[in-house]
Amino acid sequence: VYERLWLVASMILIVAFIATVTYGTVGLGITMVDDREETLSPGDIDEDERFEDPRIEQVGENEFEAYVVAMTFLFQPDPIEVPANSEVTFYVTSRDVIHSFTVVGTNTNTMVIPGEVSVMTVEFDEPGEYGIICNEYCGVGHHDMEAELIVV
Ligand code: CUA
């Protein structure tokens, strides 16, 4: 009799876990759908014209590309403004040391390494405001390293 009870209890627990995970990634208006790394060529941010002027560029009807530079202790551009119901591919690199690009409360999170470009594709479903923070210790101003992401 108790075996059956335990079985039911553990099934409920598993369903609860799945619901929590689903809420964390889908329940919010932002979902990271792809995440990869590229090498900066020829290894220097100043030689790569994509990062000359950190910006958001429209590349298709609902498609955007964002070129973001992290440095002690800020992100450029700030704020990052993207439209709702769009898909944005972020290209993020660092001017100095290792940082991260973390959108608070979402699954959008990547390390940002000098000489490399972190590439992430993110879907924005609804308008909202999010904080971007750095979660890799990068120096005395680490705790103040933040920016704003606005989905309009
Ligand atoms: Cu940048 Cu911590």
- The pLDDT tens digits of the residues spanning 37-92 come to 888 866 688 888 899 999 999 999 999 999 999 999 999 999 999 999 999 999 99
Q: Is residue 128 part of a domain?
A: yes
Nearest CA to ligand 1 atom 1: 99
Q: Is residue 4 part of a domain?
A: no
- The pLDDT tens digits of the residues spanning 8-30 come to 999 999 988 887 766 555 447 88
Domain count across the chain: 1
Assembly ipTM: 0.99
Q: Is residue 23 part of a domain?
A: no
Q: Is residue 8 part of a domain?
A: no
CA 138 to ligand 1: nearest atom: 2
Domain CATH for 72: 2.60.40.420
Q: How far apart are CA 90 and CA 50, in angstroms?
A: 12
Q: How far apart are CA 119 and CA 133, in angstroms?
A: 17
pLDDT band at 112 (very low <50, low <70, confident <90, very high): very high
Name residue, tokens 């409360």. Answer: 105
Question: Domain span at residue 114?
Answer: 30-151
- 51: CA distance to ligand 1 center in Å? 19
